[in-house]
Amino acid sequence: MKRILLENCAAVLPDGKFENANVLIEDGKIAAILNDKVSTDETIDLENQTLFSGFIDVHNHGAVGVDVNQANVESLQAVGKFLAANGVTAWLPTFVPDSVETYRKGISAINELMKIQADLPIAQIVGAHYEGVFANEKMCGALRPEFFKTFTGSELGDLPTLEKGIHLTTFAPEIEGGIELVKELKKQNWIPSIGHTRADFETLEKAFAAGAMHVTHLFNAMTGVHHREIGVAGWALTKDKIFCEIIADGVHVHPNMLRFAQKNKPADKLLLVSDSVAPTGLGDGDYELWGERISVADGKTQNERGSIAGSVITLLDAVKMYLSLGASDAEVSRMASANPAKLLGLETSRGTIAVGKRADLVALDEQGKVRLTIVGGNPCQNRLR
């Protein structure tokens, strides 16, 4: 693979910006971060843009008309291309509760794409996320409770798994067998994530002790904070070792609560997700999704039951939201890249701009527009003019 030099940028490093930086890429990895210029096969002038580590989305149901539950290899590629154009370099396709046959087809498609994706200029799939298979019916949100399961010991085996990659599932610890489910998930190297839940404090503590270390879309589909009942959200905010993902679209969570979450979680434990659905990137209108009609208007989704049905943002939109709220480049880089990488156990290879890590990078201009995305050292189509 050729050597590429990204020159004249402000590189966002874990401890702040490296101004007037030149980033050398060799064999798909970051080889050096320099003030000086070096001779390479290709030089790309970033024109003083800000260079971030590529964004990582651990909760994404699809985009550009593609629903992960119904996707094939080609349509997953289309999502990956769209995500890369919006600065995402790695993602977890996320299933909503459905039939086992649907899961099998979806996992098969992901397996096939993962075999060939390294040579494609698309966001790379690094695993799969099953959201809400083991959820509380009273906190179903837009999910379909007819597909929910309890855990009696064997149900995890009904979920098809990837040939290689990370497996994450969102569950409610108060369901029948919920704590035993956490133990089995950890035994099989899954990431257990608490969500779509009304669990009380004692049950949450048991789930944490059993190995649950993540919370799905903080504040949404869970009990809120009350001064006599801490609620799932309050517990998550005060449990410093718990990762929390948050949908920063200004719809799922009020902007002031976004600030509140950032102030009350350790810097390495809050991460941004899109929770995007198939209509993302298509604009306002009516769409068929998960067996019902949803409407998209002014950036808000709503299903026929009146519930929010996912988002129509990308991680880029979430980054821009937090920047507008006063977060620094380094802070949003942690939330969009470093912290997701840490949650997934990929922090040694992804998540920050550092020598030896994958060259997964995104350059943003002053308006927050993506000017260049690089995935594994390969520039994608959204290149600087």
Per DSSP, the three-state class of 171 is: strand
Q: In whole angstroms, how far apart are CA 196 and each of 63, 340, 376?
A: 22, 20, 35
| Closest-CA residue to 131 (of 222, 196, 66) | 196
For 87-103, what is each residue's pLDDT tens digit? 999 999 999 999 999 99
Domain ranges across the chain: 4-51+364-379, 55-346
Segment (H or E) for 282? none
> Is residue 257 over pLDDT 80?
yes
Q: Please state the pTM of the whole predicted model.
A: 0.97
What is residue 328's predicted lDDT score, i.e. its pLDDT? Answer: 96
Q: State both tokens at 289.
A: 């999704």
Q: Which CATH number fits domain 55-346: 3.30.1340.30, 3.30.365.10, 3.20.20.140, 2.60.40.10?
A: 3.20.20.140
* Within this chain, domains 4-51+364-379 and 55-346 share the same CATH topology: no
> Is residue 385 over pLDDT 50?
no
Q: What is the mean predicted confidence (pLDDT) over 243-249?
A: 98
Residue type, 295: S
For 106-116, what is each residue's pLDDT tens digit? 999 999 999 99
Residue type, 385: R
For 176-188, what is each residue's pLDDT tens digit? 999 999 999 999 9
Specify the long-range contacts of residues 97-102, CB closer than 8 Å, at least 24 apart: 97/131, 97/132, 97/133, 97/135, 97/143, 97/144, 97/145, 97/147, 97/148, 98/69, 98/144, 98/147, 99/147, 100/158, 100/159, 100/160, 102/69, 102/70
The mean of the pLDDT values for the chain is 95
DSSP designation for 54: P
Q: Which of 57-61, 93-97, 158-162, 290-294 has the lowest mean pLDDT?
A: 290-294
* Cβ–Cβ under 8 Å, residues 360 and 375: yes
> Is residue 308 over pLDDT 90?
no
> Is residue 359 over pLDDT 50?
yes
What is residue 256's predicted lDDT score, i.e. its pLDDT? Answer: 97
What is residue 145's predicted lDDT score, i.e. its pLDDT? Answer: 81
What is residue 381's predicted lDDT score, i.e. its pLDDT? Answer: 67
Question: 305 falls in which pLDDT band (50, 70, 90)?
Answer: confident
Packed helices 255-264 and 231-238: angle between N→C axes, nearest 10 degrees: 40
Percent of the chain at pLDDT > 70 equals: 98
> Is residue 135 over pLDDT 70?
yes
> Is residue 383 over pLDDT 60?
no
Q: Which CATH number fits domain 4-51+364-379: 3.40.50.720, 3.30.9.10, 2.30.40.10, 3.40.50.10680?
A: 2.30.40.10
In the chain, how long is the greatest CA-to-CA distance? 64
Q: State both tokens at 192.
A: 């257990």
Q: State both tokens at 329.
A: 């480049």
Rounded distance between C-alpha atoms, residue 52 and residue 365, angstroms: 11
Instruction: Please list the alpha-helical segments (H only) found in 172-227.
Output: 178-187, 201-210
- Beta strands (DSSP E) in 14-81 are 16-26, 29-34, 42-53, 55-60, 62-63, 66-67
